Amino acid sequence: MNEKEVYHTYALKGSVVTLVFLTWDGKTQIFQWMYQRTKECIVYANAAVDSCDRVSLCGPYGICSINQHPPCGCMQGFESRNLEEWEVSDWVSGCIRKKPLHWEWGSLFENCGSEGYASLDIRNGGGGSLLWLDELLDTREYDVNQVST
């Protein structure tokens, strides 16, 4: 390390040849050449790429689903902001409301710059509401059988 750069060096204790391939369906395969034992390449690891992990992939009010192609869609009541961009898989512009908000909370949204409202189900006789003040980003739809870690 010095004032201009940071670097790391290492030395192998033997020869290891590793090949990394990105397959057509977004999976990464890592092969290792077993030179000394079998003189063949073996699959060392497989890893699926989760495109929904990219920050704001589907833009504001977009929903990302790893099990769909294309992965981006709009929340209920929303539509793509720029259809031409969406048709070429550029979803960053996100979605916009199909209809403006018109309800008893509409003046609150207009006056305070709020983006949305939801009722909360507070158990045991409680009540409440949830108000968000900015665009919703990175909303994700999970398959019923999908486990998130």
Separation CA 104–CA 144 (nearest Å): 35
Residues 67 and 115 in one domain: yes
In 3D, which of 46, 130, 60 has the Cα closest to residue 93?
60
Q: Both 42 and 57 in a single domain?
A: no
In this structure, what token pair is assigned to residue 81?
């902001």
> How far is it, in rounded angstroms, from Cα 94 to Cα 72?
9
Band (pLDDT 50/70/90 cuts) for residue 95 is very high
Same domain as 82, residue 109: yes
Task: Identify the band that residue 50 occupies on the pLDDT scale cut at 50, 70 and 90.
Answer: confident
Regarding whether 73 and 96 lie in a shared domain, the answer is yes
Rama region for 124: left / alpha / beta (φ>0; ψ in -120 to 50; rest): left
Count of structural domains, the chain: 2
CA atoms of 72 and 58, how far apart (whole Å): 5
- Does residue 69 sit in the same domain as residue 136? yes
Are 108 and 129 members of one domain?
yes
The answer on 69 and 39 residing in a single domain is: no
User: Does 148 map to a domain?
Assistant: no
| 79 plus 98 within the same structural domain | yes
pTM: 0.54
- In this structure, the answer to whether residues 7 and 39 fall within a common structural domain is yes
In a domain, 149, yes or no: no
Given a cut of 80, whether residue 27 has pLDDT beyond it is: no
Which residue, 115, 136, 147, 130, is CA-closest to 63?
136
Confidence class of residue 78 from pLDDT cuts 50, 70 and 90?
Answer: very high
75 is in which domain, residue-wise?
Answer: 51-140
Residue 8 domain-assigned (yes or no): yes
